[in-house]
Structure 1
Amino acid sequence: MCNLIFDIDGTLWNTTEIVAVAWQKATDEHGKSKAVITAELLKKEFGKTMDVIAEDIFPDITSPKERQELITLCCRYEHERLHAITSDVADSIMFDGVKDTLRDLSRSHRLFIVSNCQKGYVELFTEKSGTDDIIEDHLCFGVTGTCKGETIMTLMKRNGLSAEDTYYVGDTLGDYEACQLAGIRFIFCKYGFGEVKTPYKAIDSFSELKDLFA
């Protein structure tokens, strides 16, 4: 039995088109930034912590307080829009094979999620994907306030996971660096949002995990 920890955005699903609309609405209503939010822009940012994303996307807001107000509004509208999507839409934004593969893996392995997302986002994913019964535990930046590597270590400690039996599945250099800090092996999703040159393993599709952990 292995312990598999998953990233969400760029690994399990791609919400950037939906989120871009929500964030643009928040930006326009807030009125302090001229930022144009697109899916391509978000793909470059997802995987970073929310405070860093806010600094990158809203450099024209110099006040940390106002920038925090805007990113909070962005997250609120994002959550509302994603919460309202139908099961068909949820299925369409998940990468091929995710639901079936997670279900298959859960029969022999322990499954977890660690993300740099805001509080409530992991629960939204598990609800929309129908995986809340197979994801044993999860943590995110919105709860811990720490970098992803430290958040991974916190989850490992509270679930008694050994580094030797634990793998992280993600899609960015930040994910790889988090695994280096946590002392675990990194499986790179080549179909995602980032580039990693020296992962432990690389996969072209999520369903390849079934063979890796057969």
Structure 2
Amino acid sequence: MKGYKGVFYDLDGTVLNTLDMNMYPLMKIIEEETGEAWRFEQVIKFASYPGMAVMEELGFEDKERVYARWVRYVNEYEEGAVVFEGFVDVFEALASKGIVQGIVSAKTREQYEVDVVRQGLDRFMQLAILADDTKQHKPHPEPLLLGLNRVNLLADEVLYIGDSLADYQAAQQAQMDFAYAKWGSMSAEGILHPTYVLQQPKDVLTLFE
């Protein structure tokens, strides 16, 4: 097995189960903006989109204002973000091996504070590259490249774990190995040749034996 020195994680759909807390507030936003009552099945396709891309596809005029309201509704969602079972064990095991761990996600800093810091998960992370940190976002490689620069590691020394096509494409363009997190993925379309396919979070540990 390749001797990786670090691993970067996507958040939504990879580390965190945030499907309900993102999609139900989005349904509320759509109804407020258009008067249309969309079903859960209709909005599920947006689960893997970066936040502003959702606003653009839905054609809202004041995207920034509507997006800020969506973020507020998400943060107020009672159930909140839930860590996929087994991930805390993964974080602890890799930390004990001295593996550098980091988050590279399209989340805003505010969302990160709510979903990650409040749960104490940030204690395992050496960095967090979020939406506010780069001009370009996944599938552009800029967030991953910034992460590599921050931890002073090369692309072939770090594995990226994600659940979406944008994650896969960003890793490809950054020339990083990619592990496809099937447990939280909405679609494998376009993810043609991931370096690894993982069925459950604890499978991550097999890559660092």
State the TM-score, normalized to the length of structure 2: 0.84
| Partners of 2:137 and 2:51 in 1: CA distance | 11
1:52 partnered with 2:53: yes
Shift of 1:112: 0.2
Q: Return the letter of the residue paired with 2:107.
A: C
The partner residue of 1:155 within 118, 139, 147 is 147
| Partners of 1:27 and 1:48 in 2: CA distance | 16
Greater shift after overlay, 162-171 or 118-127?
118-127
RMSD: 2.2
What does residue range 14-163 of structure 1 map to in structure 2 within 5 Å?
Answer: 14-28=17-31, 31-34=32-35, 36=37, 40-41=41-42, 43-56=44-57, 58-59=58-59, 61=60, 63=61, 66-81=62-77, 85=79, 93-108=82-97, 109-148=99-138, 149-163=141-155
| Partners of 1:41 and 1:94 in 2: CA distance | 25
Deviations 1:39-78 (A, max 9, x none): 555543234322211122x23x3x2xx2321111101221
Matched with 1:184 is 176
Shift of 1:27: 4.2
Say if 1:189 and 1:202, in contact at 8 Å, map to a contact too.
yes
Say if 1:118 and 1:142, in contact at 8 Å, map to a contact too.
yes
CA 1:41–1:99: 2 relative to 1, 3 Å: farther
Q: Return the letter of the residue paired with 1:211.
A: T
CA 1:165–1:23: 2 relative to 1, 3 Å: same
Aligned length: 200
Shift of 1:7: 0.4
Say if 2:13 and 2:19, in contact at 8 Å, map to a contact too.
no
Matched with 2:200 is 205
Matched with 2:158 is 166
